[in-house]
Amino acid sequence: MTDPILIMTVAASVLAAAGIAAWAGLKAWHEWLELKRMELVNGRAEAVMPQAAGGRIELADLKERVRKLEAIAAGIDI
- The residue extents of the domains of the chain are 1-42, 50-78
Q: Residue 15 corresponds to which amino acid?
A: L
Residue 50 pLDDT greater than 60, yes or no: no
The 10s digit of each residue's pLDDT in 56-66 is 778 888 899 99
DSSP the chain: ---HHHHHHHHHHHHHHHHHHHHHHHHHHHHHHHHHHHHHHHTHHHHHSPPHHHHHHHHHHHHHHHHHHHHHHHT---
Confidence label for 21 from pLDDT (cuts 50, 70 and 90):
very high
